[in-house]
A and B are shown apart, each in its own frame.
Chain A
């Protein structure tokens, strides 16, 4: 009896949490599409997410492209398929590594910052103050971040893809004795639009997830500095896990059969 009560309570708490999250998401999305908009705030978030994440994402994808070239070269040599290096690099990057790595890096950078900022605003009653000044916190805080996340992540990933391919090219032409022209030809030869497009769709979804998690955990943080700290951790962890799960789901949707 006691055991059942505990199970029931845990289950109810879980359902409550899921319901709260679903409502938050619904409200947030509805405010993305309805005016008024805050162009200044959207622009500020875009710079924060897009511009200031460039070094991190660029470095990550650069070295990933380099290591991909090196690994696939030594691995594929076992069955004399070294020629596929350029193709492997570009397809892995555009389909998988670009969006996932950029997503994870931005989750750490931006998701944490959003949760900390909004969480601090919550515990210092700044969010309450917004409401009393006839400003909807969803419109003012959440919507600009979501919009910036959805639009900037694909751009970041596009740039990251290019830098990553360049990394592969560097290794391919300097260490692996590829002819530069051949390497570039191989890179574009088997690349299809869907490789790039699926990666950009992933990026948009990840951008949404990162901003949503940052805002959600910040918005619902409780109890001072400790609560904000917990919100920050939760935002990064939940966004990272969701990115990996959704990555599989989207891949399945695009490429299964």
Chain B
């Protein structure tokens, strides 16, 4: 919404993105710019379409209309090699980690290197171990299978996988949900540290305000299919917007009702 004047082409640029499932309008005209190196956090209620927004950008879902540009290149409708080329620059931490449960941890982390970049297994393994260390996991974890890990460890492995191929864009879908507050803060720190080390542009999703203010430079709020507020991470607590106010303070009374949230 407020394009960075220093950066003529935003890293990610959305215009009029709409997506509906049957009669359920999930995204109703999203306009968004994320500048290179910036960390933007999208907040919003459960079921407001945050994950759908990320999946549209990744090309996992096709928006009904609108434009999504990455590095100035239109990506809506790309498929096959062209889509792979775009996605090779993107790392994604899924809401449920989405680790491949048929592969040991290190192969999960090295997956993008082995399959996407055709790296040798030994080289990929070394890189995977380095990434695991970066997210604070012992090398012995590398041989375990995802089912043998706790939720917090799975998130860490997911994070390691997201950054293994050194992407310049990273998406985090609810990185701290389901973790205890200390582990959540550890993950937040890891996200800040790893994206800073990579110099990557980050787009995160959360409904955890502590996480949002910690990892975000800017915050956008998604409500009823639109971004109703975008501003600096520090301004979110005095946004002057009744919806944002209700959300960040977690109050039951306010303009956001149960029904609207579900819809």
- Which positions in A face B, CB cutoff 8 Å? 117, 120-121, 124-126, 128-136, 140
Q: Which residue of the partner chain B has the closest CB to A135?
A: B115
Contact of B116 among A126, A129, A134 (CB under 8 A): A134
Contact B95 A132 (CB under 8 A): no
Contacts of B80 in A (CB 8 A): 136
Contacts of A117 in B (CB 8 A): 102
Interface string of B85-114 (1 = CB under 8 A from A): 001101110111011111000000001100
Q: List 14 A-B contacts (CB under 8 A).
A: A117-B102, A124-B101, A125-B94, A125-B95, A126-B98, A129-B100, A130-B100, A131-B58, A131-B87, A132-B90, A132-B91, A133-B112, A134-B88, A134-B116
Contact B98 A135 (CB under 8 A): no
Contact of B115 among A120, A124, A126, A133 (CB under 8 A): A133
Q: Quick check: is B60 within 8 A (CB to CB) of the other chain?
A: yes
Contacts of B111 in A (CB 8 A): 133, 135
**Which residue, of A128, A129, A135, A136, has the highest number of chain B Cβ atoms within 10 A?**
A129
Contacts of B10 in A (CB 8 A): none
Contacts of B115 in A (CB 8 A): 133-135, 140
How many residues belonging to B are interface residues under a CB distance threshold of 8 Å? 26
Per the bound structure, the CA–CA distance linking A125 and B52 in Å amounts to 13
Contact A131 B59 (CB under 8 A): yes
Q: Quick check: is B74 within 8 A (CB to CB) of the other chain?
A: no
Q: How many A-B residue contacts, CB cutoff 8 Å?
A: 55
CB distance from A119 to the nearest CB of B (A): 13
Q: Chain A binding site: helix, strand, loop or mixed by DSSP?
A: helix
Contacts of A125 in B (CB 8 A): 94-96, 98
Contact A128 B98 (CB under 8 A): yes
CB distance from A187 to the nearest CB of B (A): 44
Q: B113-154: which have CB < 8 Å to A? A: 115-116
CB distance from A256 to the nearest CB of B (A): 42
Q: Chain B binding site: helix, strand, loop or mixed by DSSP?
A: mixed
CB distance from A141 to the nearest CB of B (A): 10
Contacts of B116 in A (CB 8 A): 133-135
CB distance from A46 to the nearest CB of B (A): 16
Q: A134-B84, A134-B112 are in contact. Are A129 and B98 (CB under 8 A)?
A: yes
Contact B101 A129 (CB under 8 A): no
Contact B92 A129 (CB under 8 A): yes
Q: Quick check: is B55 within 8 A (CB to CB) of the other chain?
A: yes
Contact of A126 among B58, B88, B91, B101 (CB under 8 A): B101
Contacts of A140 in B (CB 8 A): 115
Per the bound structure, the CA–CA distance linking A134 and B84 in Å amounts to 5
Contacts of B165 in A (CB 8 A): 133
Contacts of A131 in B (CB 8 A): 58-60, 83, 87
Given A126-B100, A133-B115, 5 additional A-B pairs, CB 8 A: A125-B94, A125-B96, A131-B59, A132-B58, A134-B112
Per the bound structure, the CA–CA distance linking A133 and B117 in Å amounts to 10
Contacts of B94 in A (CB 8 A): 125, 128-129
Per the bound structure, the CA–CA distance linking A140 and B83 in Å amounts to 16
CB distance from B161 to the nearest CB of A (A): 8
Contacts of A124 in B (CB 8 A): 96, 98, 101
Q: Which residue of the partner chain A has the closest CB to B83?
A: A131
Contacts of A135 in B (CB 8 A): 111, 115-116
Per the bound structure, the CA–CA distance linking A132 and B116 in Å amounts to 10
Contacts of B101 in A (CB 8 A): 120, 124, 126
CB distance from B57 to the nearest CB of A (A): 10
Per the bound structure, the CA–CA distance linking A129 and B165 in Å amounts to 14
Per the bound structure, the CA–CA distance linking A63 and B111 in Å amounts to 46
Per the bound structure, the CA–CA distance linking A190 and B99 in Å amounts to 56
Contacts of B92 in A (CB 8 A): 129, 132
Contacts of B102 in A (CB 8 A): 117
Per the bound structure, the CA–CA distance linking A126 and B98 in Å amounts to 5
